[in-house]
Amino acid sequence: MTDAAELRALTRQLLADHPPATTDRTDFLRARFDAGLAWVHYPVGLGGLDAPRALQAVVDAELAAAGAPDNDPRRIGIGLGMAAPTLLAYGSDEVKRRFLRPLWVGEEVWCQLFSEPGAGSDLAALGTRAVRARGGTSRSSEAESGGDWVVDGQKVWTSSAHVARWAILIARTDPDVPKHRGITYFVCDMTDPGVEVRPLRQITGEAEFNEVFLTGVRIPDAHRLGEVGDGWRVAQTTLMNERVSIGGSRIPREGGMIGKAATTWRERPELRTHDLHRRLLDLWVDAEVARLTGERLRQQLVAGQPGPEGSAMKLGFARLNQAISGLEVELLGEEGLLYGEWEMRRPELVDFTGRDAGYRYLRSKGNSIEGGTTEVLLNIVAERVLGLPSEPRNDKDVAWKDLTR
């Protein structure tokens, strides 16, 4: 088993062979992946060394001290936090070798084709269909003897679809069984001519999200993850990792949105009131509790796959962001109503802290929807963490085709 000393030696050798100051950024990241220093807990040959996950911090510290470039994780967060763990758990050897390296390096951006207009909170009710092709082959040169699937349907609230090269996709392959069965999980080529991406303008004025229309999109069977009809189980791996990546990201003390509010408080004494001071202190404590809880959750991840605790973290993240942004707008008074830009833009990533208070207030409203609605997450926490009885589900054993829609 690789230990901390060995990882330091390997990292220093990487830096000696590829000096960050004189090596092209992409070349350096590729070399880091090939050396097994991308995510050390992944298998050898797939960016890792089969080392304990906790030792990633050793590598990151050495590289940061040397001024080495990172892979811009905010830009490729869906690929890193959602697609990669699913590819690793369910992809074939060929799929892992094809996708994990360019995903981690950032050469290919990923998006997530899950939610649908008629199946938002009830994801298992999705209606996008995938059927076996009757003949012909996919555009993709990677198609194998397993044949193709043809996908038709619509997805919505898809972050980064306008810049994505690949997507993780779930579609219904058998309408004659209950909704949680008969779903299959695929990797979809976003450059396929049957894929149409349309912007969804938000309350912020931007179109960070998209709706995606799929018309006759051909996907090779080699790009199926997991067994046919077992897509719901595969999707759980994605969803649990998504909620950890949204709600449990590592931030420094007084980082994130609480840091912006605290800075305004310190720099603008004329805005202070006793009531706002009390509320700021309460939220500061809540933010610190959330940060420390996130650290403990990441320690638990070292031992295995994420569980329902990630849903609790994401639930707390949404509530905290909305409360802090509301306080910040109140603190700024009339200034808090100002909104610097109202132009139609299609950003590659969300920047909560680099914008004005009005943007943070408006954008945080989406936190209670994206990555699982608050209502769904409350049910998960109630049933899987607290052990409370589940809600009655009358459609549990009804074939999807017979559901009322």
Pairing mode, if any, of strands 110-113 and 166-172?
A: parallel
> How much of the chain exceeds pLDDT 90, in percent?
61
Q: Where in the sequence numbering do the catalytic residues fall?
A: 242
List, in sequence order, every residue forming a beta bridge with 5; answer none if it has no partner.
Answer: none
Of the ranges 75-84, 95-104, 197-206, which is most confident? 95-104
Q: Residue 307 — pLDDT band, cuts 50, 70, 90? A: low
Q: Do domains 77-229 and 237-385 have the same CATH topology?
A: no
Per residue in 264-288, pLDDT (tens digit) is: 999 999 999 999 999 999 999 999 9
Task: Report which DSSP code applies to 325.
Answer: H
Buried b (16+ CB within 10 A) or exposed e, 84-122: bbbbbebbeeebbebbbbbbbbbebbbbbbbbbeebbee
Rounded alpha-carbon distances, angstroms, from residue 109 to 134, 158, 316, 344: 31, 13, 28, 22
Provide the residue type at 35 as one letter: A
What is the pLDDT at residue 243? 59
Per residue in 31-46, pLDDT (tens digit) is: 999 999 999 999 999 9
For residues 306 and 241, the answer to whether their CB atoms sit within 8 Å is yes
Domain ranges, ordered by start, for the chain: 4-65, 77-229, 237-385
Pairing mode, if any, of strands 195-200 and 209-220?
A: antiparallel
Provide the residue type at 221 as one letter: D
Mean pLDDT of the chain: 89
Q: In CATH, which superfamily holds the domain spanning 77-229?
A: Butyryl-CoA Dehydrogenase, subunit A, domain 2 (2.40.110.10)
Per residue in 89-127, pLDDT (tens digit) is: 999 999 999 999 999 999 999 999 999 998 867 899 999
What number does CATH give the domain 237-385?
Answer: 1.20.140.10
